[in-house]
Structure 1
Amino acid sequence: MSQTLTFESGPEPCLRLHGDWTLPNYRQLRSHHVETPGDVQRLDAQELTALDTAGATVLLQLLGAERLCHLAPHASGLSAERRALLLAVASAMAAQHSDQPDRRYRFGDGLARLGAQVLSGWQQLMAFLNFLGLTLVTLAALMPRPWRWRMTALVAQMHQAGLNAVPIVAVLNFLVGAVVAFLGATVLTEFGATIYTVDLVAYAFMRELGVLLAAILLAGRTASAFTAQIGSMKVNEELDALKVHGMSAIEMLVIPRLLALLITLPLLAFVAILAGIAGGAVVSVLTLDISLTRYVAIVQEVPVKHLLLGLGKAPFFAVLIALIGCLEGFKVAGSAQSLGEHTTSAVVQSIFVVILVNAIAALFYMEMGW
């Protein structure tokens, strides 16, 4: 192929194509093309023998997407198939360039981004409240009908979300209890008040750390599992199958998970409190010269109301974690990327909400004098 195209000037500058504009000749097409002025008015393909996407890409690079879209419909000697190919390539490239964001900073971009995030947060809050209402209505309708209770699913979820989480909850809180005891001993030794390390550990785990750490662990472990399970069912169109059979996805999938967390999270929080106090006991006995008998006696002097205040937050955390995990699962679209994004979102939202509610509860307890 000695020449791939020629440019003819005149009243209507014309670009003539020659030979095979195909992939085997791609390098030759790129090396033999001529400079094309920007005022090409006509495209002549009478001597064009073959064309594929590689040739169309070279022509697109010469003329640009907008001019090619303008010239291709009126090109002489161009078959309908080749004309459609040129238009498809030009349209795709034009759409790709139009979708690329403008990276120039404009005044107000930050404010617009902040507004979009606030709006997105408000929409997520409304979606959560709607989902909460739908779940409560379904639960209220289900309670007087014991023959529709899914006890097998409830027990399975309790085993998965509760019993299987006991080792990690106990070990983590044991280590945190030891760290809190070390920290308390380091600070209180300077004041000669080492004995109050026991009170520090007991009050911290009964009121705050026990239930908080257990809820955070379940937010990362169980909320992500709920999202992945329901999301994979949606990707596999199993939720559509439930609707076809007249079954409620809320009743079948959400209620057992919600009740399982309502039952298991207070128990896990209690295990976490015991493990944290045990970790403080090991440090106290080994490094602070506080006997185990004395340690237990001091812990027993802590009022029971602090334990009840801590455990009282567990049901609220359970509802939030379960509903956020299930809601994000229902939001999954039909792709693995969407499943991963919503699983991550479920973990982040659950942990954030748990810490936020715990902070609000702490302020409320302080104002009430509890």
Structure 2
Amino acid sequence: MERSAAFEIEEGEGGATMALSGPWLVSTIGAVEKEVNAARDRDVATVDLSDISEIDTAGAWLASRIANEHDAEIAGADDRAQRLLGAVGGFDSDVAVAAPREGMLTRVPERMGEMVGNAGKGFTGIVGFLGALIMAFGSVIRHPRRFRMNAFIRQLEVVGVSALPIVGLMSFLIGVVIAQQGAVQLAQFGAETLTVNLVGRITLRELGVLMTAIMVAGRSGSAFAAQIGTMNLTEEIDAMRTIGISPMEALVIPRILACVFMMIVLGFYASLMSIIGGAVIGDVMLGIPFLTFLTRIQEVVPIYDLWVGLIKAPVFGLIVALAGCYNGMQVKGDSEQVGLRTTMAVVSAIFAVIVIDAFFAVFFSNIGWG
């Protein structure tokens, strides 16, 4: 049996005949494909398959392509070859293959409906998760020994202590930027000294805790989603349920409590670092001594600005932790879901934090803390 595909072109009265021989299989036609392409200029009237010993889909496709290019007839095909030629006969190599796509007027409403449906499912899932969390808190309150103190302390370190350098650097630079840009703008009105007011109030009320929440969402919220999601994939959470350990008590509660508590500490720390950054710029650019800047902060910033930041911090921490833990618990199927849910945890947490911050701004303004 021949071990490679071959062909010959024989001249005849009715035109040239391309006689194919040997096995025309996916493993053998590569050796003759270049020669077939080189013979495109020949005038072939018939493609003869009678001498082919074996043929598969790839060989039938190439034979069909040869016949289409030369506008030739196919002869000598046995039953198997005819079936394969019929299966590949409608293929045109010059036509781009693309998946069917609905029109825009169909796709856009369909996608919007899908998004609304997913939003409804997400809201239902969040409500269910909150219910399970409240029940788990009630169970821990009734049985204090079930509280995972070691896990809580570990999360305090991961969420808070390990984040001090990056949060401090970020907040210091934010204070520097606010002071520098504020001084440039206020200098137009001869009010450079009001830079102290600007730095103190905006960092204590808004940017200190808000930027910290965004940083914690990107750092810890994503970690929560990835850790719990991976445990879901490896069936560790199912194993915990099997041996009678509540995943909510063992995994979720320590992370939520740690995030809520450490957001208060980190928010206050971030505000202090921002003020220090502003004081450095005040000393360098405005001629306001460093200690004078800090003393002036106490005089011009009302105490309720501090309370505004401290009230926002635990709420933001709760939102970040809930988003991370909820999305981690929703991971199912494959590893791609871990990345998807981690991204959703960060995006949803940041979005919710900014929206809640807007509500806080309106609320505090209405009660006279504006």
Residue equivalent to 1:271:
269
Match of 1:312 in 2: 311
Residue in 1 that maps onto 2:251: 253
Which range moves more in the overlay, 127-136 or 179-188? Answer: 127-136
1:282 Cα shift?
0.7
- Report Cα offsets for 1:154-178 as digits up to 9, x if no partner: 0001101110001111110011001
Rg (Cα) greater in structure:
2
**Over residues 294-341 of structure 1, what are the superposed CA-to-partner deviations in whole Å (9 max), with x where a residue is unaligned?**
322221122211111111011111111111111211222343322222
CA RMSD of aligned residues (A): 3.5
Change (3 A) 1:197 1:232: same
Corresponding position: 1:168 with 2:204? no
1:187 counterpart = 2:185: yes
Would the alpha carbon gap of residues 239 and 300 (structure 1) be closer, same or farther in structure 2, given more than 3 Å must change?
Answer: same
8 Å CA contact 2:6, 2:32 repeated in 1: no
SS of 1:335's equivalent in the other structure is coil
Amino acid at match of 1:320: I
Structure 2 gaps of 5+ residues are 9-19, 37-48, 67-77, 92-96
Counterpart of 2:329 in structure 1 is: 330
CA distance 1:189–1:156, change in 2 (3 Å): same
CA distance in 1, matches of 2:187, 2:238: 64
Instruction: Say if 1:193 and 1:105 are closer, same or farther in 2 by CA, change over 3 A.
Output: same
State how far apart, in whole Å, the 1-side matches of 2:282 and 2:7 are: 90
Q: Which residue of 1 aligns with 2:71?
A: none
Aligned equivalents of 1:25, 1:306: Cα separation in 2: 79
User: Displacement of 1:222 after TM fit?
Assistant: 0.4
CA distance in 1 between partners of 2:32 and 2:246 (Å): 61
Give the 5 Å matches for 1:286-365.
286-301=284-299, 302-365=301-364
- The match for 1:119 among 83, 96, 117 is 117
User: Shift of the alpha carbon at 1:239?
Assistant: 1.6
Provide the C-alpha distance between the structure 2 equivalents of 1:369 and 1:338, rounded to a whole number of angstroms: 46
CA contact (8 A) 1:219 1:347 kept: yes
Deviations 1:113-170 (A, max 9, x none): 2232233223222222221221122112211211111000000011011100011111
* Number of the residue aligned with 2:260: 262
Deviation at 1:244, TM superposition (A): 2.0
Of 105, 108, 124 in structure 2, the residue corresponding to residue 107 of structure 1 is: 105
CA distance in 1, matches of 2:145, 2:60: 67
Q: Distance between the aligned counterparts of 1:283 and 1:206, measured in 2?
A: 18
Determine if the alignment matches structure 1 residue 157 to structure 2 residue 129. no
1:61, 1:151 → 2: CA distance?
A: 72
Q: Residue 205 of structure 1 contacts residue 273 of structure 1 at CA under 8 Å; is this kept in 2?
A: yes
Q: What is the CA distance between 1:278 and its match in structure 2?
A: 0.6
In 2, Cα distance between the equivalents of 1:56 and 1:350? 56
Q: Which amino acid aligns with 1:207?
A: R
SS at match of 1:313: helix
SS at match of 2:105: coil
SS at match of 1:20: strand
> Once the 2 structures are TM-superposed, how far is the Cα of residue 180 of structure 1 from its aligned partner?
0.5
Structure 1 residue corresponding to 2:29, chosen from 23, 26, 45? 26
Partner of 1:206: 204
- Please report how far the alpha carbon of residue 189 of structure 1 lies from its aligned counterpart in structure 2 after TM superposition: 1.2
Deviations 1:323-363 (A, max 9, x none): 11112112223433222222122111111111111112112
- Rounded Cα–Cα distance in structure 1 between residues aligned with 2:60 and 2:139: 63
Select between 245-254 and 256-265 the one with higher mean Cα deviation: 245-254
TM-score (norm 1): 0.77
Q: Which moved more, 1:136-145 or 1:47-56?
A: 47-56
Q: Which residue of 2 aligns with 1:71?
A: none
Q: Distance in 2 between matches of 1:201 and 1:155?
A: 34
Post-superposition shift, 1:100? Answer: 6.4
Structure 2 residue identity aligned to 1:23? V
Instruction: Please report the TM-score for the alignment, with normalisation by the length of structure 2.
Output: 0.77
SS at match of 2:29: helix
Q: Percent identity?
A: 38
Q: Counterparts of 1:234 and 1:198 in 2: how far apart (Å)?
A: 50
The alpha carbon displacement at 1:289 in A equals 1.4
The 3 A distance-change label for structure 1 pair 122 and 367 is farther
Q: Secondary structure at the match of 2:23?
A: strand
